[in-house]
Chain A
Amino acid sequence: MWFRVILPFIFICLVQPSLIFAEPVRFAPLPMHSEDYIRREFYPFIKYLEEILQKSVQFAYRHNNKDVIEGLKTDEIDLAFLGPLPFAVISQQDPDIIPLLQFLNPDGSVGYTCSVGVFAGDHLQMKDLSKKKIALTRPYSTCGFLMTEHMLNQEGKSLTDNIFEYIGKHPDCALAVIDGRFNACGIKTSIGKKFRPLGLDLIAESQTVPSFVLVANRHTLNATEIDNVRKYLLQLKPLENQQAAELTKDWGALIKHGATPVTENDFTIFTDLLSKIHISGISE
């Protein structure tokens, strides 16, 4: 098992000069936090990518998902860490943006669900969600408009019957409901559960969607590079291998637990939903 970790290092030692002379690979992470925070979270991961690619990897921060998608479309970004929805959107527009792998949750599972949260003291159900204020994260957030609308649709409701607002991060949405500014929120289930001690009730939960994915731009990266990234990252099994765990211990929380293969088929749920639901802030 150890050779899976050591092999890239040996490889690097042999061909180190290429790191200096080759064009750098531009990596854009998902802009979920401040640039400085994300830079810290992804710095060791980027270093590992450099070892795999034998190239310098540049931190190509974009302030929102839309800009990351634009960067991929205009070939200004070579690799990106994206949520499943942004990937689904870009893959519909450009088939050369391909998923390499999806990252595992801390327990080794894959994918996540979205929920609709309300304050327990408000005693609201899904059926009550008409003419209410609903807090959403961002347009490209999977648990934002798309999945919330999908869950509401399943109950015969729609966001369009309510007043919704994009307010930022998932905890912000939770707290906006708890402090009474909003009646409900669309939130990633795992985050919503953390706010249970403050009375956030999750009244609906979606089906599992793929995890965050690492995507590659086939316009700018060659097949060998893409294969290498996929191969070496999948080889790491931090949840099973102590050496790999040691290697990834400083990586960001969403990427440190390892990865698993993914194909475009895993995103058919989004293809279906996107054909039915027009996301406010994206589609128009």
Chain B
Amino acid sequence: MKNWLKLLLFYLLAMLVIGFVLQTTYKNLRVNILTQRTETQKIAYSSVLQSNKILADTFYHEVLNQEKILALVHKIVHSEGDEQIIQRGLLYRALSATYQRSKKNVVKILHFHFPDNRSLLRFHLPQNVGDDLTDIRPAIALVNSSLLPVHGYEPGRYINGYRHVYPLLYHGEHIGSVEVSNPYRKIYHKVQQLETAQQTQFVFFQKKQGGLEKSFAENELYYVANEIHPDFIRSKYISELFQDQEQKEEIPTEIHNLFAQLKNNPRVQKNMSQGVAFNLSVTNNNKSFSVVFHPVADISYEKSGYLIGFTSEPNIEKLADQFLIYFLLTGTVLLAILIYRASLQSTLEEKKKTEEALKAIYDNKLTGMVTLDAEGFYKQINRQWEVMTGYSRDELLTMNFRDLSYPDEQLQTPIIERLAENVDQQTFQREKRYIRKDGSVFWGELSGTGLYDHHRRLIGMVGIITDTTDRKSAQASLLEANTIINRSPAVAFLWRNEDGWPVDYVSGNVEMLFGYSSLDFRSGKVRYLELIHADDQERVTGEVVSNSQKRTQNTFTHKPYRILTQNGEVKWVNDTTYMRRNPSGEITHYEGVVYDITELKQVENELFENKMHLEDLINEQTKDLENKVDTLETKTGQLEKSEQALIHLVEDVNESRAELQSLNSKYAAINTELKEFAYIVSHDLKAPLRAISQLTHWIAEDYANAFDEDGRMQMDLILQRVKRMDSLIEGILRYSRIGQIRGKMERIDLNELIAELVASIAPPETIQISIANELPVVYLDTLRVGQLFQNLIENAIKYMDKDKGVVEINCTKEENFWQFTISDNGPGISKKYHDKIFQIFQTLSPRDENESTGIGLALVKKIVSIYGGEIWVEAEEGHGTTFFFTLPDKEITDEKH
């Protein structure tokens, strides 16, 4: 593990060093590429400037600095008014054709100036003349004062240009100056053309202080500010003046995307502020670019801008990729070497360990080890064999292995010969005696392993000789101990702690006790547990289990138990067991000494029987006495039992009462919950129903014209159903309320009440309602009683099918109550419906035929039952109906629910 860690650390360190070296090399190469790019651009830029200067010089000398032109300028300078105007026109006329030809490729700006720096004639803007250029065009002022040509970049009122300004002298007289220039963009576009193969895109950023003050206000639309640095702007167009050849600054998006990166680069910001030349490489969308910043100075050597060249640099990308590949390859190779080395080292270490282990085995101090040749002569001996035999190494190396064998055993076939004969066996063991140098004899167990060549011929042997003298002695002692045990009555057992206690060892005398041979036990033919008497097996097993759980105790003695011998004889044995445990404390074996106590047990039984006989005699005498006492006690007991039965009866009654009370409470609670449920549900249902009803009304009204006859019918049907639903809910409410709301118990004159009810119902004239006899005064809740009568009377009216309907109310006094009847001559009710009509929501005709909720009679029944009365109906189909009900004749205080 340590080695691996070391190798890992080494690997990381090495990779760091390699990475550093590769990184440094990569940086150097990248710098080289950037430097080359910078130099190439500088050379291209210089050549363009130089060639432009040559062209300008040529144009000046060959075209402008000519007698005719100078004479015209001289005239303009020395004339005024119309004359000057005409001369200017003539100057334009003289050069116009040449200018038109040359402006496409050679000269775009041709501008004459007065000696006092005023504009004399601009060929690119001829109508604009006379403006003073002293402040905005220092080059002109410089030429007019020094009379020497000036070349360099200078921003202008309309155009930024690379200026070539020459003095004009007419016969030695200074008559002004002339500028033969190109817009600066044309210069770097030419550089760009030279760089076409390299796909360099130049962008010019003009310093605000240099040109913007003069041009920005009126040409603001044509500039973009602060794309890379706040002090610089970039023009989008050359100028309106060159619209015919207008070139919009089209910067490729991939270049434009770099601006933000450069804007956020502190080095760029710092260097641009300082106006120094620099370069850098940037990457966007996995594409590398070199960006070379060329500071551009004006004719006063002031830094006026930056010409920035952006070039796609696939070589930088490739370089980065290559270095990455180098790094990964180096890393992989190094890793492979280190893994190989680590694996080699591991193998060597393993080998060393194996050798050391072998050496340790060879040099052990317990067994002798020898290597013999095919004839049995010693080839190698370990120190222990020297100790065991008493011979020195040198002595042994001259001897044959058989030389040390005990004389009797020299007659046996040597192992080495057996190994030669039995190639497939390869290893033989033999215990035999050897004679030491001092003549003493020791027992040794020889394990010989043959050494064979690839033809399977024996070429030698490796022998391991273990001194077994002590073991031999122990075996002899053990044999003697065994003999003693076998002669004793005690049988020694070694049981495994497994099901049925299989026997691992049993002393030879077992046959004397059990009749089975020791082999019968050890072979598993006989299982010890099965020999234990069936009546004692459970007890013996229990004793073993309980003692086994006592971890602090290793020995226990069973209570004597019986065994069955081979011939079916039952014998009593005593068994003392020792529990043998493994290092974790679990019992692996039981060692037991079992000896026959049958005779002892017989004596013990006889003694017990005598004792029992004596006790029987005593018991008989005692029993007589006890019988007498029992008779007396029985009588007393009977008396006590009667008293006890009475107590139990009272307790049972109390329990039944308590159960009844509990059930009553539960029933009341359930009833209350049900009522509350009905009340809440009904109220909650009514709210949306009201909304449905209202909306349906609105729809029916607002869209009355939109519905045809069917539509209107369906709308009516909806309203009807809603109304029915409302009635049903109202019915539920009333039904649940009738049990909940307890009105005031008061005196009710039923004659008066029913007269009021009939008046409020206002039955049709075809139905006559009569009271057969004087109705009683009752002491009940007016509201409920009113509802009771009203529902029954309304029912009779509602279902009346006769032209002349008769409804009669009657009352008779019974023993403890009043019995009322309300009968009519209506359609009657079939007998099979007599019970159904009192159930809630039950109607006998479809609701569409007769709008009914089916609550009225259920309510009636509930009211009657609240007052402990009964209600029933007698009717036949086609022969009218009579409702009977009873009400209490006394004021009641406790309502039934």
Binding site for B on A (CB under 8 A): 33-34, 36-37, 40, 119-121, 171, 174-175, 178-180, 194-200, 250
- In this assembly, does B336 line the interface, its C-beta being within 8 Å of a C-beta of chain A? no
Q: Do the beta carbons of B85 and A120 come within 8 Å of each other?
A: yes
Stretch of B192-200, B240-248, B496-504, B688-696 lying at the A interface: B240-248
Contact of A197 among B90, B127, B248 (CB under 8 A): B127
Chain B positions within 8 Å of A180 at CB level: 93, 96
- In this assembly, does B407 line the interface, its C-beta being within 8 Å of a C-beta of chain A? no
Q: Do the beta carbons of A37 and B126 come within 8 Å of each other?
A: no
Q: Do the beta carbons of B221 and A195 come within 8 Å of each other?
A: no
- In this assembly, does B883 line the interface, its C-beta being within 8 Å of a C-beta of chain A? no
> In the bound complex, how far is the Cα of B88 from the Cα of A121, in angstroms?
10
> In the bound complex, how far is the Cα of B313 from the Cα of A164, in angstroms?
57
Q: Do the beta carbons of B246 and A37 come within 8 Å of each other?
A: yes
Q: Do the beta carbons of A36 and B246 come within 8 Å of each other?
A: yes
Chain B positions within 8 Å of A178 at CB level: 89, 92-93, 96, 126
Given the known A-B contacts A175-B96, A250-B221, are A199 and B246 also in contact in the complex, defined by CB atoms under 8 Å? no
Contact of A179 among B93, B127, B221 (CB under 8 A): B93
Contact of B243 among A34, A121, A198 (CB under 8 A): A34
Chain B positions within 8 Å of A179 at CB level: 92-93, 96-97
Least distance between B592 CB and chain A CB atoms (Å): 106
Given the known A-B contacts A175-B96, A178-B126, are A197 and B88 also in contact in the complex, defined by CB atoms under 8 Å? yes
- In this assembly, does B771 line the interface, its C-beta being within 8 Å of a C-beta of chain A? no
Chain B residues with a Cβ closer than 8 Å to the other chain, count: 21
Q: Which of B96, B126, B129 has the most CB of A within 10 A?
A: B126
Chain B positions within 8 Å of A194 at CB level: 127
Chain A positions within 8 Å of B88 at CB level: 197-199
- In this assembly, does B130 line the interface, its C-beta being within 8 Å of a C-beta of chain A? yes
Q: Total number of A-B contacts with CB less than 8 angstroms?
A: 60
Cβ < 8 Å to A, chain B residues 88-104: 88-90, 92-93, 96-97
- In this assembly, does B339 line the interface, its C-beta being within 8 Å of a C-beta of chain A? no
Least distance between B745 CB and chain A CB atoms (Å): 73
Q: Please, which residue of chain A has its CB at the minimum distance from the CB of B96? A: A179
- In this assembly, does B86 line the interface, its C-beta being within 8 Å of a C-beta of chain A? yes
Least distance between A188 CB and chain B CB atoms (Å): 13
Contact of A195 among B93, B126, B243 (CB under 8 A): B126
> In the bound complex, how far is the Cα of B81 from the Cα of A196, in angstroms?
11
Q: Please, which residue of chain B has its CB at the minimum distance from the CB of A174? A: B127
Q: Do the beta carbons of A40 and B221 come within 8 Å of each other?
A: yes
Q: Please, which residue of chain A has its CB at the minimum distance from the CB of B99? A: A179
Q: Do the beta carbons of A37 and B240 come within 8 Å of each other?
A: yes
Contact of A36 among B86, B127, B248 (CB under 8 A): B248
> In the bound complex, how far is the Cα of B89 from the Cα of A37, in angstroms?
29
Q: Please, which residue of chain A has its CB at the minimum distance from the CB of B97? A: A179
Apart from A120-B82, A121-B90, list 10 A-B contacts with CB within 8 A: A37-B243, A37-B246, A119-B89, A120-B85, A171-B127, A195-B126, A197-B88, A198-B92, A198-B126, A198-B127
Chain A positions within 8 Å of B248 at CB level: 36
> In the bound complex, how far is the Cα of B128 from the Cα of A194, in angstroms?
8
Least distance between B654 CB and chain A CB atoms (Å): 86
Chain B positions within 8 Å of A199 at CB level: 85-86, 88-90
Chain A positions within 8 Å of B127 at CB level: 171, 174, 194-195, 197-198
Chain A positions within 8 Å of B243 at CB level: 33-34, 37
Q: Please, which residue of chain A has its CB at the minimum distance from the CB of B88? A: A198
Chain B positions within 8 Å of A33 at CB level: 243
> In the bound complex, how far is the Cα of B130 from the Cα of A194, in angstroms?
13
* Closest 9 pairs (CB-CB, A-B): A199-B89, A179-B96, A121-B86, A194-B127, A197-B129, A198-B89, A180-B93, A199-B85, A199-B86
Q: Do the beta carbons of B246 and A34 come within 8 Å of each other?
A: yes
Least distance between A238 CB and chain B CB atoms (Å): 18
Least distance between B868 CB and chain A CB atoms (Å): 77
> In the bound complex, how far is the Cα of B121 from the Cα of A199, in angstroms?
12
Chain A positions within 8 Å of B93 at CB level: 119, 178-180
Least distance between B442 CB and chain A CB atoms (Å): 115
> In the bound complex, how far is the Cα of B92 from the Cα of A195, in angstroms?
12
Given the known A-B contacts A34-B246, A36-B248, are A121 and B126 also in contact in the complex, defined by CB atoms under 8 Å? no
> In the bound complex, how far is the Cα of B126 from the Cα of A196, in angstroms?
10
Chain A positions within 8 Å of B89 at CB level: 119-121, 178, 198-200
Least distance between B114 CB and chain A CB atoms (Å): 13
Least distance between A121 CB and chain B CB atoms (Å): 4
Q: Do the beta carbons of B86 and A120 come within 8 Å of each other?
A: yes
Chain B positions within 8 Å of A171 at CB level: 127
> In the bound complex, how far is the Cα of B127 from the Cα of A174, in angstroms?
10
Chain A positions within 8 Å of B221 at CB level: 40, 250
> In the bound complex, how far is the Cα of B86 from the Cα of A178, in angstroms?
9
Q: Please, which residue of chain B has its CB at the minimum distance from the CB of A119? A: B89
Cβ < 8 Å to A, chain B residues 428-452: none
Chain A positions within 8 Å of B96 at CB level: 175, 178-180
Q: Please, which residue of chain A has its CB at the minimum distance from the CB of B126? A: A198
Chain B positions within 8 Å of A175 at CB level: 92, 96, 126
Q: Can you name 9 A-B residue pairings with CB atoms under 8 Å?
A: A120-B89, A121-B86, A121-B90, A179-B92, A197-B130, A198-B85, A198-B89, A198-B121, A200-B89
Least distance between A220 CB and chain B CB atoms (Å): 32
Q: Please, which residue of chain B has its CB at the minimum distance from the CB of A191? A: B127
> In the bound complex, how far is the Cα of B85 from the Cα of A120, in angstroms?
8
Chain B positions within 8 Å of A37 at CB level: 240, 243, 246
Least distance between A146 CB and chain B CB atoms (Å): 25
> In the bound complex, how far is the Cα of B248 from the Cα of A37, in angstroms?
11
Chain A positions within 8 Å of B121 at CB level: 198
Cβ < 8 Å to A, chain B residues 112-157: 121, 126-127, 129-130
Chain A positions within 8 Å of B240 at CB level: 37
Q: Which of B86, B240, B246 has the most CB of A within 10 A?
A: B86
> In the bound complex, how far is the Cα of B240 from the Cα of A33, in angstroms?
10
Chain A positions within 8 Å of B85 at CB level: 120, 196-199
Least distance between B132 CB and chain A CB atoms (Å): 15
> In the bound complex, how far is the Cα of B218 from the Cα of A250, in angstroms?
11
> In the bound complex, how far is the Cα of B130 from the Cα of A198, in angstroms?
11
> In the bound complex, how far is the Cα of B97 from the Cα of A204, in angstroms?
28
Chain B positions within 8 Å of A119 at CB level: 86, 89, 93
Chain B positions within 8 Å of A195 at CB level: 126-127
Chain B 234-276, CB within 8 Å of chain A: the 1/0 string? 0000001001101010000000000000000000000000000
Least distance between B218 CB and chain A CB atoms (Å): 12
Q: Please, which residue of chain B has its CB at the minimum distance from the CB of A179? A: B96
Chain A positions within 8 Å of B90 at CB level: 121, 199
Chain B 377-410, CB within 8 Å of chain A: the 1/0 string? 0000000000000000000000000000000000
Chain A positions within 8 Å of B246 at CB level: 34, 36-37
> In the bound complex, how far is the Cα of B655 from the Cα of A135, in angstroms?
134
> In the bound complex, how far is the Cα of B97 from the Cα of A196, in angstroms?
20
Least distance between B734 CB and chain A CB atoms (Å): 57
Least distance between A45 CB and chain B CB atoms (Å): 14
> In the bound complex, how far is the Cα of B97 from the Cα of A178, in angstroms?
11
Chain A positions within 8 Å of B129 at CB level: 197-198
Chain B positions within 8 Å of A174 at CB level: 127
Q: Which of A33, A37, A178, A195 has the most CB of B within 10 A?
A: A178
Chain B positions within 8 Å of A250 at CB level: 221
Q: Which of B88, B93, B121, B246 has the most CB of A within 10 A?
A: B93
> In the bound complex, how far is the Cα of B244 from the Cα of A178, in angstroms?
20
> In the bound complex, how far is the Cα of B88 from the Cα of A175, in angstroms?
12
Chain A positions within 8 Å of B86 at CB level: 119-121, 199
Q: Which of B89, B126, B243 has the most CB of A within 10 A?
A: B89
Chain B positions within 8 Å of A200 at CB level: 89
Q: Please, which residue of chain A has its CB at the minimum distance from the CB of B121? A: A198
> In the bound complex, how far is the Cα of B246 from the Cα of A33, in angstroms?
11
Least distance between B130 CB and chain A CB atoms (Å): 7
Cβ < 8 Å to A, chain B residues 451-479: none
> In the bound complex, how far is the Cα of B126 from the Cα of A120, in angstroms?
16
Chain B positions within 8 Å of A197 at CB level: 85, 88, 127, 129-130
Least distance between B71 CB and chain A CB atoms (Å): 15
> In the bound complex, how far is the Cα of B222 from the Cα of A250, in angstroms?
12
